[in-house]
Amino acid sequence: MSLEVKEKTLVRLVFLGAAGVGKTALIQRFLQDTFEPKHRRTVEELHIKEYDIDGVKITVEILDTSGSYSFPAMRKLSIQNSDVFALVYAVDDPESLEAVKSLRDEILEIKEDKYTPLVVVGNKVDRVQERLVSNKDVLSTVELDWNNSYLEASAKDNVNVVEVFKMILQQANLPSRLSPALRRRRETFPKDTNFRPPMNKTNSCILS
């Protein structure tokens, strides 16, 4: 009797990184196609989206975490309960890259699995003049030394934001059929107005 490999129908992805690197901005750009230039402090917010792909309901939970290190217990719980990770730094902030390295070590320690799926995201590539982190060096470290995926993006200019989420969900082994649905997100997602409250569950949406 052959065993069928079942595709995941629920996945939680968590965004981790230092304060002010643009975690919330990336999520907001993806979900609502909006950008808020003023930084606001995030404690923890959960967004839930549902997709209907060929009759299979896929639930994607996106956890936006605090960049503050004053919540270590909350961060540990977030790591324990998540499937795939986006580690975000800002290309104009070398210290935020060091935070990514520490977070990766923490994830591998908590998960006890060096093959835990994660994507490193260099945000704020719109700040060309202020760049202080070489993408070549990061690319070499992430892809060659860590064997993880790496992508640069800009939430402000909407550069590679959809690609970031596609890469994250591919790491989570979600059905490849989800990719076209992500591409069509702006035409089908409602414009949520209640995005800000903590632990907000944004409206689910069915994509055909």
| pLDDT at res. 57 | 83
Q: Each residue of 66-77: b (16+ CB within 10 Å) or e?
A: bbeeeeeeebee
d(CA 180, CA 71): 36
CA dihedral (105, 109, 115, 117) positive or negative: negative
pTM to 2 decimal places: 0.79
Segments of the chain scoring below 50 in pLDDT:
1-5, 186-208
Three-class DSSP category at 24: helix
pLDDT tens-digit series, residues 106-160: 999 999 988 899 999 999 999 989 999 998 999 999 999 999 999 999 999 999 9
Any idea which residue has 């990061």 for tokens?
Answer: 138
The residue ranges of every structural domain in the chain are 10-188
User: Which tokens go with 163?
Assistant: 């690609």
| pLDDT at res. 89 | 97
Just give the CATH number of 10-188. Answer: 3.40.50.300
